[in-house]
Amino acid sequence: MTSALHEHRVVVVGAGVAGLVAALQLAQRHMQVTLIEAAEQPGGKMRQLMVDGAPIDSGPTVFTMRWIFEQIYANAGTRLEDELKLISLPVLARHAWSENERMDLFADPGRSRDAIARLAGPAEAARFVQFCKQAREVYDSLEGPFIRSQSPTLASMAGDLGLRGLAVLASLGPMSNLWDALRQHFHDVRLQQLFARYATYCGSSPWQAPATLMLITQVELDGVWSVEGGMHALARSLASLAEKSGVTIRYASPCTEILTERKKVSGVRLASGEVLPADSVVFNGDASALTQGLLGGGVRRAAPRLSASKRSLSALTWSVHAATEGFPLDRHNVFFQPDYAREFSDIFSRARLPQTPTVYVCAQDRGSDAAAPERDRLLVLINAPAEGSRTLTESEIDACETHSFSLLTRYGLKVHRTSENTQRTSPAEFHRLFPGSAGALYGMATHGWMSAFARSGAKTPLPGLYLAGGTVHPGPGVPMAAMSGQLAAATLMAHLDSTSRSRRVVISGGTSMRSATTATTGCPSSPLLAAYSRRTIAPH
């Protein structure tokens, strides 16, 4: 089989984090891997913009689930801390509800408990402790059976959960949404808002997202870091490792068609007309691009079609390099408005920009007691609808921009913006950057408890074609996308082993590694992965 692997040609389409991880791990198995990317640099949605002479992360801004990347780097023969400098952030986020109502959430739950007591009283602080306990139980129950498992089904997950895991989920209430669950935990609406925002990490509404998304609380309590050089440094580092492992990376090489022959993948066609033959293709793009025929008719049925009504949130963002004054920024800052429900009804029911948006500000030179810079590098973001039956007008966007920065001013933050030091990105521009997405940054919204099983997995009905990225299982976010790249590589490898075709792939490692911060975490020395029988979970 070793010689067959050496001759197996793989083309990975898209150098987002999932494509980079898949390419790296397949190359480590000595396959001939070519990674093609339409842009001139790696990263995908983990993009960096140059604004008024400064590089600004203008996509994901949070580094969590460090153990996933420790495992990836260990399998590549190096250590995460030798390749990237990570700075642990004691403050997870700074929150404001008015000019005088502010609260930090800390990596240390005890400090968060005390901060909640000061804001909302000791009874709410006690409820926070119980909430954290339930969030940990939900995370520990779902990590193996769902997060690390290739395309779980309701039946397989029920078997994997066991009686204890099923009891944990039952305690949330049948078909409970996140907002209802938070109302049971907290009486203060400000705390309901604070933890409900985790639904937006999956591009969803707290009123429609399942209560299980409270597990994101545990993810952040396990640690949040900033990356020296920005999140884009992670993409550059993975690209460098992939090239050292033998991957050929071709930037500025858009793929226009995934070719098929005799009902299986045979290669890809580039915009230049060049054809790259392949025995397998890993597609790291929006899965909807396949069903819309953007990659050719031969792959239209490789993923389920996503209706416009099920698309996730998009965003309206401003990348800013400007002086600020007033509000004491930390790295991550959230400015809430009073009518939180209206924000999501505007987006999902009325398909319009929120009239009263919550504003997120990532101040990329702040945090960990960093001194205030002369000019801040900011990513300012509000939630927005994906492109539907119409494109948002410039006047609508301008009005929303005015509302958003007026809210910051009312809460004490003055940003000295100009046309030269600000770059705006709308849902239409996200759609252009990520074809097939309609600007939906997370693929399908996680609405309803069955939505967890509706995402495509790595395996497709078309032999030789595999899917990776934030629009497929296990979902959006940098660590989840990295996992999808792992799962795509593992699934491809399992299919090359004829004895593994009926088995479900599960990534090894996990709960016991969450708190680890070094490479001595018990990471398996093999490239990750094994194919496990349908009811077997990788050892913790």
Domain spans in the chain, listed from the N-terminal domain onward:
2-46+59-86+229-307+450-532, 109-221, 309-433
Place of tokens 């029911």: 349
CB 335 within 8 A of CB 358: yes
User: pLDDT for 96-148, tens place per residue?
Assistant: 999 999 999 999 999 999 999 999 999 999 999 999 998 888 777 665 545 55
SS3 102: strand
Residue 86 CB: number of other CB atoms within 10 A? 18
Cβ contact 327:408 at 8 Å: yes
- How far apart, in whole angstroms, are the C-alpha atoms of residue 365 and residue 212? 33
Q: Which two tokens stand for residue 225?
A: 């870091």
Task: Provide CATH code, domain 2-46+59-86+229-307+450-532.
Answer: 3.50.50.60
* Cβ contact 227:85 at 8 Å: yes
pLDDT tens track for 218-249: 889 889 999 999 999 999 999 999 999 999 99
Q: Are 288 and 442 in contact (CB under 8 A)?
A: no
Q: Residue 258: beta bridge partners?
A: 268
β-partners of residue 16 are: 43
Q: Which ranges in 279-387 belong to alpha helices (H)?
A: 288-291, 340-344
Q: Which helix (H) or strand (E) holds 239?
A: helix 232-244
Pair type for strands 225-227 and 376-384: unpaired
**Model confidence at 367: pLDDT above 50:** yes
pLDDT tens digits for range 279-331: 999 999 999 999 999 999 999 999 988 888 899 999 999 999 999 999 999 99
Task: Please tell me the distance from the alpha carbon of residue 540 to that of residue 528, in angstroms, as a whole number.
Answer: 13
